[in-house]
Each structure stands twice: as structure tokens, then as C-alpha cells.
Amino acid sequence: MFSKRSTFTDDSLMTLAVAKAFMDAGIDAKDEVIRQNLIITMPHLAKQYPDVGYGSQFVEWLNSSEHLPYNSFGNGSAMRVSSVAWFYSDIGSVRHAAVLSAEVTHNHPEGIKGAESVASAIFLARTRTGKDAIRQYIGAEFGYDLSRTCDQIRETIQFDETAPGSVPEAITAFLEGQSFEDVIRTAVSIGGDSDTIACIAGSIAEGFYGIPRFLKLKCLMRLPPTLRKLLRRAEHFVCCG
């Protein structure tokens, strides 16, 4: 699973950026404070790590002076949202925080839905909700088709960086996988925008299965010290508030 050349991408970096923005603001902060923290924190971290695979529209946003949302329905909002599902203790608050995390860039309804659905799935997974109930909730609340198998998805999938074209696939990989590692392998095997599909699927699987220690250590070795420190801060924040 790991290569000596393996490294983190924008998925991991922006996940940490969102976590830092919420922690710095405080989860009880007003919406506008959280939005402003997101607008400050994502470019700040991106400037430190400029070559990790950002999308072209996001690069324009990072380099702009106003940082206005650009009506994106890409999967970037879904790939970075996971921390809010751990920071809040009820699904209503999780969904609201997911919207805040998305709309500073991905203010298209589909971009917001992508983040909100993934955060909901993570929250349900970490609060011991069964997979059938998660499938039912996501389908009913967000209208995603989760009836296809991964084999069926593989037959037709193309590279698609949109939320509608990758979030349902990622959730399906989680639903079909039998362990944390199996979910990741299943997600990668689907094809398409595989790193982000695996990021999303893995974020849900963490809530449901936890992460095996040896895999976590392997990943931590590929983060620079500043990012490892930020991740540990987020873990402490979840445990201790």
C-alpha cells in the first residue's frame, strides 16, 4: 500500500486547514468568524505547501485578494470536511458546520451537499450507526443513488472531480468495504478521481472502524513535523474540547 515516494496531497492539507480554522475560532464561534478563519487558514497553509495538487479554480481562489466563493460543485469541499463531524456532538451542528466549511469556496448547492453528506456519514459512522441506516439517511436527505455496487461503478466511471460524480462513489466504497484498509483499497480500485474518492471513503471508514495503528504511523511518517503537530492538536481537541 505504501511506497517510499508516497506523500500527502491537497486532500490531507486542506482537511487539516479546515480543522485548524474551526479550532482557532472555537466551535461555538459565530458563523462569520468561522468563515473568516477558513479564508485565512487555507491560503496560509497552501503557501507553505504549494505543490500538492490543487485544482485550478482553487489555485485562483488561493491567489486572489478577495477570496470570494466561486460557485464550485467540485469534490474539494467534501474531501476536506471530516473534522467537523468529530468536533460537534449532534448531526444538526455537524451539517451546519459542513455548510460553513464548504461555502467559502464551493457555494454551489452540489458543492455544499457534497460536504454536508460526507460530514453526516462520518458522524453517523462514529456514533455507531449501522451501514444500512447510513445508506438510508444519505439517500433520503441528499438524494444520492447508493444502490449501485462498486463493480457496477467500475464499468462506467470516468475521471470526475465534481461532488455528484465522486461523493456517491466514495460512500458506496465505504458501504461495501469490510475494514478500514479494505475500504481504501476498494475506493482506489473504483478508478476516477481515486485519491479524493479514497480520502472521502477513508474519512467515513475511520469513524466506523478506526484506523489500524500501523497504517496511521505509516501516514504520520509522510507528514512534516508542523502538520503532525496540527493533527495531534485536532485529535486532542476531539478528546478534550
pLDDT at residue 5 in the model: 73
pLDDT at residue 239 in the model: 77
Q: Are residues 177 and 186 in contact, defined by beta-carbon separation less than 8 angstroms?
A: yes
- What string of pLDDT tens digits covers the 241 residues of the chain? 555 678 899 999 999 999 999 999 999 999 999 999 999 999 999 999 999 999 999 999 999 999 999 999 999 999 999 999 999 999 999 999 999 999 999 999 999 999 999 999 999 999 999 999 999 999 999 999 999 999 999 999 999 999 999 999 999 999 999 999 999 999 999 999 999 999 999 999 999 999 999 999 999 999 999 999 999 999 999 977 6
pLDDT at residue 32 in the model: 98
CATH 1.10.4080.10 fits 10-240, yes or no: yes
In whole angstroms, what is the distance from residue 80 CA to residue 18 CA? 7
Q: Are residues 104 and 71 in contact, defined by beta-carbon separation less than 8 angstroms?
A: no
Domain ranges of the chain: 10-240
pLDDT at residue 137 in the model: 98
Closest residue by Cα to residue 67 from 86, 41, 45: 41
With a pLDDT cut of 70, the percent of the chain lying above it is 98
pLDDT at residue 70 in the model: 97
Q: Are residues 24 and 41 in contact, defined by beta-carbon separation less than 8 angstroms?
A: yes
Mean pLDDT (the chain) is: 96
pLDDT at residue 241 in the model: 64
Provide CB contacts within 8 A for 124, sequence distance 6+: 91, 133, 134, 137, 207
pLDDT at residue 240 in the model: 75
